[in-house]
Chains A and B, each alone.
Chain A
């Protein structure tokens, strides 16, 4: 069941208990079959747990879509050094609002997933990095962690297995870049949240210099149901390359925005017109951003046949990212929205790498100039050139994220830019 709306086409696995206050409490969670998957995992060998996750084909839900089981298997087996598992609940990608729902509705599901992951990788400490703004959601999670400690689910002897796993809830302080895995590690170590160069990869040298795995909150929340029912069970949904279900965060000009849990490969058209009830006031669709603000825009025609799986969206010319679908109708001023996105990146750039620090600022300046009606047609070429040079030249991918929305909007909505440049005409801004 999605939140705040639900739809019959949904496959509620993670979102089954969204909107159910009882599920937040330890007692309520146990009554709903909670912590059974953990018990099952503890009876298996860690390698077997990793194998099940591999078999499920679960891919990282944070945006990159890296196979989770494979990621887990990178962790060194020897226990000479402490291992860490980090749960990334620092969701800040514009358009994404799934982790907050997970934290505030099913905190125990997340804790259970963290514990199974920690057991599989031999991690003794899990840090759940929550976004600083989530005061209320963090509190719900913190309360759940406390209850789990009191009940012996966490601590020196997890469910009587002799395994020691600690969980600490960490509240961030408002920086988009801390959602990047090495930036998150820097922040957790008490430094500025600046990403660092990979390699060494976190599995070798991670937080506090120790082997570390970082998983998105949604990835970890998907672990308990997979453990309980097996890898093959999870593959009954989704496509061959993108198995399972995913929380789709739909926002923008639709009648019923919200989180919907759907099998991967779900048609974008059906998501907008069926699940979300269509466009507000039945206006025409203009563009869709299928995966949060750092992916390319899809025009209405491209959106027509797009299937929402990792490979399907790439085929349509964009990326699934974290499945944050932002829908824009015919009244949307694309130039204004792209400018707003660019200024977001300029604000959130950590400033380490010159192409990003300078690039984001200049792209924003040029876009604002165009928006004010003072742009030239050469500016469009400059934008493409500048963003081209921002791809692959920096430590992390924040810089790379500016190129797709800017370039795709210039390519697909060039007439809007030109209308502003040539005649000062603004589309849609009534």
Chain B
């Protein structure tokens, strides 16, 4: 699996080989993966990784997540102020923020469900319904648009076989258009889950999609298991 590297894989600005694992791409200049419990309380609210699937019947925050939730509460003078970080954490656990999750967050923070729904629906980053394993968000705002973002978006839709905002049948991809990602100097900027892909061109899209599918296969059947 040694394809030519992408121009700029975008991870922390590191120009590394594309098909390395995330840890390898981060390499020496990445600050390291933070512990699951979120490290210091000051940073407890800022570790939002998405798409961790959990049993819907289980409590919202368990184990390290509960510890992180408690840390979040220590950083704000009011419980209400913790609502955005808590929703971030909930999305990390559940992959999306369902009405039930919003209710549960309301209970934890002593807020009404209606209030939490009001907040959650204001922010675009909360997925109000389940998304695919890879949430592909293509910036089509002006700077990227000038440099061919529309073609990139169409290429993603074509190669993942989905419609805009919808999830592919194999639940692998959700492709959406997004407003400026603040990567205007690296057009087209695409965010796939937590990671930015910079300088993406329409020609590169099939390879990115293939790479993500390969990654899924590796997760489905890890090497050396049998």
- List A residues at the B interface (Cβ < 8 Å): 3-4, 19, 21-22, 24-25, 82, 91-97, 99-101, 104-105, 130-136, 138-146, 149-150, 154, 166-176, 187-193, 208, 249-253, 257-259, 289, 293, 324, 326, 328, 332, 336-337, 340-341, 344, 347-348, 350
Contacts and interface: CB of A to CB of B under 8 A. Distances in A.
Interface in B68-110: 75-78, 80-85, 87-88, 109
B191 to A, nearest CB: 6
A22 B184 CA distance: 25
Contact of B31 (A143, A168, A252): A143
Contact of A144 (B31, B75, B78, B82): B31
Contact of B29 (A24, A172, A257): A24
Contacts of A348: 179
Nearest to A3: B13
A168 B45 contact: yes
13 contacts: A24-B31, A95-B180, A96-B184, A132-B125, A143-B39, A173-B84, A174-B123, A190-B119, A208-B77, A249-B185, A289-B142, A326-B184, A332-B146
B195 interface: yes
A293 B39 CA distance: 38
Majority SS at the chain A contact face: mixed
B143 A95 contact: yes
Contact of A340 (B119, B123, B140): B140
Interface string B165-181: 00000000000000111
Interface string B124-141: 111000000000000011
B218 interface: no
Contacts, number: 211
Contacts of B85: 170-171
Majority SS at the chain B contact face: loop
A180 to B, nearest CB: 14
Contacts of A19: 13
Contacts of B31: 24-25, 139-140, 143-144
A105 B194 CA distance: 18
A34 B51 CA distance: 37
Contact of A171 (B12, B45, B77): B45
A3 B8 CA distance: 13
Contacts of B42: 142, 145-146, 149, 154, 166-169
A21 B29 contact: yes
Contact of A249 (B32, B77, B184): B184
